[in-house]
């Protein structure tokens, strides 16, 4: 059943406004009633779906569409019914409702191509578009506000009134789009980058809105408790910045458990296609550093040569490694095969790409040196780490130290990894302690403390679950600051409760997922009955991943002492 009207011409876009140019209110009225009764749920794990649905709900409210969705944010899997029934193209991502009827609206058939007008970019990096025939929002990747694009419908989500669609082509470009900026021939098919068609200031401005919306949707804090959000700080490198990439290839086609299946030809080696469960063959990725790109080429060749040794798919680790020598060292004048050589005033760096998960990678942040087990966590954009750690240094202590209060002398780095914050901030404190659940990361952290001439009395580490730190912490709470940098799912309740019970003077919350950060910061600002509560002093994003929709958030919080009131930061 094809329910699409004639394709929209650019002129017919005026159809979004009724006669007299009034903003349309499709079937009017109901949405407002629903807005009153709806209470936003806190984000669970800040998944793609949760964040997308929050944006879609907000857009429904803004556009005054009649079918504003209600109820819980449903995970895709809970709403699934068409993975099994998909006959047309089993590689398609999409497990929404298979029906084409949503409420009273008739929706386009799956795989129908329709023209839609993009009204905003979601926090997930996708264009959110409207179509004149239905109260449904179309999620179209690689599109920007003002674009009219042709999109191919993949699946409809009945509960939330949105549809996923593939980007097909631009019918009329909006003012933000300039495709001559695109730097990769796989852009608009690879799932890696979303924003290559945007200029960099627009990318940064968008990332600021991601932080704003995250706190609006998920912190449950009233606006008067929010500070002004800072402008997102950009990455010195906008391409060639990723020090780690993990391309993969799938096993030989055929039944999964058939160990006798062998590759007949070199498989696609690369990254997932957007909206499809297939791997794209990608021979080069311009967001990788030169050394990583060199490693990617080499590893692709190696897989081809050793094809008969593989029985299943593999994820290939590509991690940059730096060998630094002083310019007065004889080695600096030589070339080392398979390395990218760069010379600065004092040093010559030889950058290579390592692929062994258990190998050791080395990198430099200013004058600090960090080693890491290559397969363990370390930040992926070295170019931003100097301004980033400097920002934390500049903000970790109170802006105006009070003579009536004891100075802050102690640092706890929770979720410390291999010691990025513990080590780069250590000189500000008498004693610092890092804790991380990963044994290999803590082994690296101890080694890194030694390499940076920090004795154990000044900088120590512990391999344990983060809440364990509160059992042994000896630092006085009034003289302690805690840095938190958890994984994407954020902190668990037990950790936050114990943190508030301990009640350090300051908390700096760093996160690669601003949505779970907003949820957790909301908890700290509201406080607990038996513990401290906090004032959100400042909030800012850092662009660790240019060309993508990711943003790293840094929230600085100060404890509210009994005589103080929680209030808007100066
Ligand atoms: C985003 S990384 C941050 C690491 C470090 N701050 C850095 O920037 O290099 C999150 C870290 O949390 C650690 N982690 C995950 N769950 C944890 C837990 N329950 N307790 C302590 N550490 C945990 C991981 O091992 C990882 O090193």
- Contact of 475 with 500, CB cutoff 8 Å: no
- Verify whether ligand 1 is closer than 6 Å to residue 416 (CB atom): yes
Q: Is 485 annotated as a binding residue?
A: yes
State the pLDDT confidence band at 24, using cuts at 50, 70 and 90.
Answer: very low
Residue 552 CB less than 6 A away from ligand 1:
no
What residues does 315 pair with on adjacent strands?
A: 248
Are 292 and 243 in contact by the 8 Å Cβ rule? The answer is yes
pLDDT reported for residue 159:
80
Q: Are 485 and 421 in contact (CB under 8 A)?
A: yes
Q: What is the pLDDT of residue 81?
A: 31
Any ligand 1 atom below 6 A from CB of 70: no
Answer whether residue 37 shows pLDDT above 70: no
Q: How far apart are alpha carbons 114 and 105 in whole angstroms? A: 16
Stated as kind and residue range, the H or E segment containing 105 is strand 105-106
Q: How far is the CA of 437 from the centre of ligand 1 (A)?
A: 7
Going from the Cα of 121 to the center of ligand 1, the distance in angstroms, rounded, reads: 30
Annotated binding residue at 436? Answer: yes
Please state the atom number of ligand 1 nearest to the C-alpha of residue 413.
6
Going 354 to 359 to 365 to 366, the CA torsion angle's sign is: negative
Q: Find the mean pLDDT for residues 418-435.
A: 98
Tell me: ipTM over 0.90.
yes
Domain locations along the chain:
11-177, 214-237+377-559, 244-373
**Per-residue pLDDT at 41:** 58
Which CATH number is 11-177's, of 3.20.20.70, 2.40.50.140, 3.30.420.10, 3.90.180.10? 2.40.50.140
Atom of ligand 1 nearest to the CA of 512: 1
118, 143 contact by CB (below 8 A): yes
Tokens of 286: 């311009």
Q: Is the pLDDT of residue 7 over 50?
A: no
Hey, which of 426, 487, 495 would you mutate to test ligand 1's pocket, going by the most ligand atoms within 8 Å of its Cβ?
487
CATH architecture group of domain 214-237+377-559: 3-Layer(aba) Sandwich (3.40)
DSSP 567: -
Pocket of ligand 1, candidates 365, 396, 417: which has the most ligand atoms within 8 Å of its Cβ, to mutate?
417
The answer, yes or no, to whether any atom of ligand 1 lies below 6 A from the CB of 441, is yes
Say whether 512 is catalytic.
yes
Report how far ligand 1's centroid is from the alpha carbon of 417 (Å).
5
Do residues 484 and 414 make contact, with C-beta atoms less than 8 angstroms apart? Answer: yes
Contact 349/331 with Cβ under 8 angstroms?
Answer: no
Percent of the chain with pLDDT over 90: 72
Task: Tell me the pLDDT band of 133, cut-offs 50, 70 and 90.
Answer: confident
Question: What separation in Å is there between the alpha carbon of 550 and the centre of ligand 1?
Answer: 18
Can you tell me whether residue 480 is helix, strand or coil?
Answer: strand
- Residue 569: is its pLDDT beyond 60? no
Give residue 188's pLDDT: 96
For 498, the 3-state DSSP assignment is helix
Nearest to 160 by CA among 81, 54, 86: 54
More confident residue, 30 or 463: 463
Half-sphere CA count of 224, side-chain side, radius 13 A: 3
């Amino acid at each position: 059943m094809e329910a699409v009207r004639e394709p929209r011409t650019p002129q017919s876009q005026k159809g979004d406004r009724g006669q007299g140019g009034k903003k349309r209110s499709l079937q009017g009225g109901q949405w407002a009633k629903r807005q009153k009764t709806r209470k936003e749920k806190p984000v669970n794990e800040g998944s793609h779906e949760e964040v997308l649905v929050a944006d879609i709900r907000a857009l429904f409210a803004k556009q005054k569409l009649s079918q504003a969705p209600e109820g819980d944010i449903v995970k895709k899997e809970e709403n699934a019914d068409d993975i099994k029934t998909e006959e047309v193209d089993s590689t398609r991502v999409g497990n929404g409702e298979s029906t084409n009827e949503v409420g009273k609206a008739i929706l386009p058939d799956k795989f129908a191509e329709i023209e839609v007008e993009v009204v905003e970019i979601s926090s997930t990096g996708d264009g959110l578009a409207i179509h004149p025939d239905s109260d449904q929002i179309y999620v179209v990747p690689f599109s920007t506000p003002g674009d009219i694009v042709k999109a191919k419908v993949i699946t409809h989500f009945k509960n939330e009134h949105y549809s996923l669609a593939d980007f097909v082509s631009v019918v009329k470009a909006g003012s933000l789009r300039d495709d001559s900026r695109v730097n990769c021939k796989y852009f608009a098919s690879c799932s890696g980058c979303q924003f290559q068609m945007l200029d960099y200031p627009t990318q940064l401005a968008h990332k600021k809105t991601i932080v704003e919306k995250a706190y609006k949707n998920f912190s449950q804090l009233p606006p008067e408790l929010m500070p002004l959000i800072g402008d997102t700080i950009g990455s010195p490198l906008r391409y060639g910045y990723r020090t780690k990439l993990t391309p993969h290839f799938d096993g030989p086609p055929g039944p999964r458990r058939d160990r006798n299946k062998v590759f007949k030809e070199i498989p696609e080696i690369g990254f997932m296609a957007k909206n499809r469960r297939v791997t794209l063959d990608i021979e080069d990725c311009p967001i990788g550093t030169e050394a990583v790109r060199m490693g990617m080429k080499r590893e692709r060749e190696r897989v081809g040569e050793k094809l008969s040794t593989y029985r299943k798919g593999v994820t290939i680790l590509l991690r940059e490694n730096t060998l630094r020598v002083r310019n007065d060292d004889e080695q600096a004048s030589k070339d080392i095969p398979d390395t990218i050589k760069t010379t600065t005033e004092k040093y010559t760096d030889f950058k290579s790409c390592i692929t062994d998960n258990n190998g050791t990678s080395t990198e430099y942040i200013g004058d600090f040196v960090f080693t890491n087990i290559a397969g363990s966590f370390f930040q992926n954009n070295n170019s931003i780490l100097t301004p980033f750690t400097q920002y934390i240094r500049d903000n970790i202590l109170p802006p105006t130290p009070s003579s009536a209060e004891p100075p802050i002398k102690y640092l706890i780095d929770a979720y410390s990894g291999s010691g990025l914050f513990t080590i780069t901030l250590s000189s500000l404190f008498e004693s610092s302690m890092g804790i991380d659940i990963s044994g290999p990361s803590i082994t690296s952290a101890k080694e890194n403390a030694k390499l940076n001439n920090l004795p154990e009395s000044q900088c120590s580490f512990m391999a344990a679950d983060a809440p364990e730190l509160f059992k042994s912490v000896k630092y006085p709470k009034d003289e302690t600051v805690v840095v938190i940098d958890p994984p994407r799912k954020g902190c668990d309740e037990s950790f936050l409760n114990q943190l508030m019970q301990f009640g350090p003077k300051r908390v700096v919350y760093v996160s690669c997922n601003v949505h779970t950060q907003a949820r957790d910061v909301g908890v700290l600002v509201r406080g607990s009955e038996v513990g401290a509560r906090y004032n959100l002093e400042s909030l800012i994003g850092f662009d660790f991943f240019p060309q993508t929709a990711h943003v790293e958030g840094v929230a600085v919080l100060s404890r509210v002492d009994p005589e103080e009131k929680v209030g808007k930061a100066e």
